[in-house]
Amino acid sequence: MSQEQWGALLQGDESYAGCKSFYRLEASAQDVFGMKYIQPTHQGRAADYIMAQIYAKKGQYAIGNMHFDTFRGNAEIMGAIPVDFVIAEGQKANNEYHPFKGNIDIPRMQKLIDDEGKEKICCVIITITCNNNGGQPVSMENIRQVSSLAKKYEIPVIIDSARLAENAYFIKTREPGYENKSIKEITREMFSYCETTTMSSKKDGLVNMGGLFVTRCHDIYLKANQLAIVHEGFITYGGMSGRDMEALAVGLQEVTDFDYLDYRIKQVRYLGEKLKERGVPIIEPAGGHGIYVDGKKFFPHIPQHQFPSQRLVCALYEEAGVRAVEIGACAFGKKDPVTGADIWPELETMRISVSRRVYTNQHLDVIVNALGDIYENRDTYKGLKLIFEGPIISLRHFTAGFELVK
């Protein structure tokens, strides 16, 4: 966090109800989102929980580009069916350059509405940037089109806005017509197309803890208040300390600074370019918050049922003490509900999320050297055997255990 955030933190007002820190956060969030009602939560997944309780309906589809796992888990518990409709370019690694690989496939969305009827669709959730396929952005045009299609069928649109400012940066630098707009003008326009948004503030809130549930509808806000009271805390803190709300109020302003974003996105791009120089296969173009290494291409001899990207996560940790995460066969693998057969995802990656304001490029060179060396010796690596998963398969990557294949 910045010195301004640490300074603000010391002024936290920890009153149970109506603390000053809440009103500072409320004003800052209203400014960035352009929406009126702000309910803090302790993390993004708590906002996901509230969102799922309000919008996810049993037996109905929740359309998304790619749902983040914590909403997916919450929606599945509610009996809803989350479906991922990211465009085809967003499902493949290393294909031709596409500036907005996080976009929703509009014809697929229309087809589901036509086939199933609008009553079978409970909501559309656009995740910006799309975390699961590489931190890939969603264009303003796509957000606008998704919103107008949903409006036609009275389907509510929600934005999962963990990386709202990074998405706005990509719109500003890649989408015609936005080059002269400020980041805040862009964020406000993005949110003008949705009814509600949730945020993991640990990302573009530039803080270590916190979440937000933000809506333009008073009735939805009242429902969120009730759920916050029973699960999070009183309306004006919702699971956050006053001091954390102060830091978030400042962080939301700092993240919309173009120079900050320019440093941030370019540092991630630096890592991607250096890895490419060593021959390491990555998903392109580089996303906002991290580099995603293509596990299938990295270890072509390790089949998906032996978790190539998870093996790579372990190898990087063994080699350099750097912790990445698998987004592939373990995170997205499913079982066929009828036959029980394994279904493996198209994208098989290791995500290296880069913490902002922490590393110099020389730190990133450590990752480049380690991964470059592992890549040179890739034939010597074998896969992994899954020995433990939890009861909810879509959440197993948080708890799974593996052993090395001999």
Ligand X SMILES: Cc1ncc(COP(=O)(O)O)c(C=O)c1O
Question: Which residues lie near ligand X (CB under 6 A)?
Answer: 43-45, 48, 68, 70, 127, 131, 160, 162, 200, 202, 211
Is the Cβ of residue 366 or residue 395 nearer to ligand X in the bound state? 395
Contact 237, 16 (CB under 8 A): yes
Cα separation, 213 vs 230, in Å, equals 15
Cα separation, 162 vs 147, in Å, equals 19
Is the Cβ of residue 69 or residue 175 nearer to ligand X in the bound state? 69
Q: Smallest gap, in angstroms, from Cβ of residue 69 to ligand X?
A: 8
Name the residues annotated as catalytic.
16, 68-69, 160, 162, 203, 397
**H/E element holding 64?**
strand 61-64
Locate the DSSP E strands across 176-302. 196-200, 211-215, 290-294
Is the Cβ of residue 204 or residue 284 nearer to ligand X in the bound state? 204
Q: Pick from 86, 146, 113: which is nearest to 283 by CA?
A: 86
Is the Cβ of residue 200 or residue 256 nearer to ligand X in the bound state? 200
Q: Smallest gap, in angstroms, from Cβ of residue 47 to ligand X?
A: 8
Q: Smallest gap, in angstroms, from Cβ of residue 59 to ligand X?
A: 24
Cα separation, 190 vs 185, in Å, equals 9
Is 37 exposed, middle or buried, given 0-12, 13-18 or 19+ CB atoms closer than 10 A?
buried
Q: At what angle do helices 20-33 and 183-192 cross, to 10 degrees?
A: 90
Residue nearest to ligand X (CB): 44
Strand partners, 292: 351
Q: Smallest gap, in angstroms, from Cβ of residue 43 to ligand X?
A: 3
Q: Smallest gap, in angstroms, from Cβ of residue 197 to ligand X?
A: 11
Which CA distances in Å does 109 have to 61, 121, 149?
11, 10, 9
